[in-house]
Amino acid sequence: MNTNDIMQLSLEMANLQAVPGDTAIYHPGKEIRRVLIGIDIDGPEVILAHNLGYDLAISHHPMGDEAVLDFHYVLKRHVEQMVAAGVPEGLAKSVTSDTIDSRRILDSIRNYDRASSIARLLDMPYMNIHTPLDEIGRRRMSEAASQLDKRDTVNDLIILFQDHFAEFRNAKTKIEVMVGRQENHLGRTVISHAAGTNGGYPVAKAYFDNGVDTLIYIHCRPDDRKKLLREYQGTMKTLIVTGHVASDSLGINPFINRLEECGLEVTPISGIIPAL
């Protein structure tokens, strides 16, 4: 396999037609047999992969080039997800516009060539795959959650996730109810994931104010949680946080399995929690 083949495989698994803005091949390679993959594969890990004789280093998170500079485009996936959940399109665009613009400006400041230049100097094939793998994880959580009824409780969903996914059982973090109570009924449930990063307070508020009762993020900033607590604590609205590393692993592990089915030797490091 070559790096293009591996990229295409990730798109097929996620049912995506094009490479998202947060995903890129930094230095192409061919005749790949041994792969080092991790949630964060930066310059030091690229050197490690080269020194240990791997043919390719794959990072989940974006590390450079277009995957950093075009990251803000992926945030528009929030609009698609919100509209699908019943949020008016105008409101969805409004509550995401500041985040998208801020991310564009901040990412333009970054040194986007740091890790990529190391890979080129070493002639070490290097890429990252972000949204496709997150989409795999989002769909796995959605399929599991669909087994429950609106009358089931938040605690029922947490138990289901822990029973279904070893990544959550093996993680050092725990699934946490950040707003609401475990006794709340699920009602309408949405998993907000695979859109670059979470939408924070404004996206959660838009969901809650438009009929969503239980919202799932994989992480949430403390300030966003405080705002949501002030507005929704004591109501039947619930924000569940499943954990960043565990949730990323939920999308990465099926991809690792497919690579191994293709005959590649794959070594997971840098945070990937085993699905055992």
Residue 58 lies in a domain: yes
242, 262: one domain: no
Mean pLDDT of 103-127: 97
Give the pLDDT band (50/70/90) at residue 54: very high
30, 150: one domain: no
For the beta carbon of residue 142, count every other beta carbon within 10 angstroms: 14
The β-bridge relationship of strands 56-59 and 238-241 is unpaired
The β-bridge relationship of strands 238-241 and 176-179 is antiparallel
254, 198: one domain: no
Number of domains in the chain: 2
Backbone CA torsion sign across 100, 103, 109, 110: negative
- Cα atoms in the 13 Å half-sphere on the side-chain side of 221: 11
For the beta carbon of residue 13, count every other beta carbon within 10 angstroms: 18
251, 122: one domain: yes
146, 173: one domain: yes
User: What range defines the domain where residue 184 resides?
Assistant: 136-246
Mean pLDDT of 136-143: 98
CA–CA separation, 91 and 78 (whole Å): 11
53, 164: one domain: no
242, 144: one domain: yes
Question: Does pTM top 0.85 for this prediction?
Answer: yes
pLDDT attached to residue 84:
98
11, 70: one domain: yes
pLDDT above 90: residue 276: no
7, 119: one domain: yes
pLDDT attached to residue 47:
98
49, 98: one domain: yes
Mean pLDDT of 2-8: 98
Going from the C-alpha of 8 to that of each of 21, 139, 258, the distances in angstroms are 15, 18, 12
Residue 234 lies in a domain: yes
Taking Cα atoms as reference points, which of 35, 31, 70 lies closest to residue 49? 35
pLDDT above 90: residue 148: yes
CA–CA separation, 198 and 97 (whole Å): 14
Q: Two tokens at 120? A: 């080129």
At 62, which CATH number? 3.40.1390.30
Residue 274 lies in a domain: no
CA–CA separation, 70 and 77 (whole Å): 13
Give the pLDDT band (50/70/90) at residue 153: very high
Residue 276 lies in a domain: no
At 191, which CATH number? 3.40.1390
Mean pLDDT over all residues of the chain?
98
19, 54: one domain: yes
145, 89: one domain: no
Mean pLDDT of 30-40: 98
pLDDT attached to residue 210:
98
The residues near 168 (Cβ < 8 Å, ≥ 6 apart) are 161, 162, 175, 242, 243, 246, 250
Q: pLDDT tens across 211-260, in order?
A: 999 999 999 999 999 999 999 999 999 999 999 999 999 999 999 999 99
Residue 230 lies in a domain: yes
pLDDT above 90: residue 115: yes
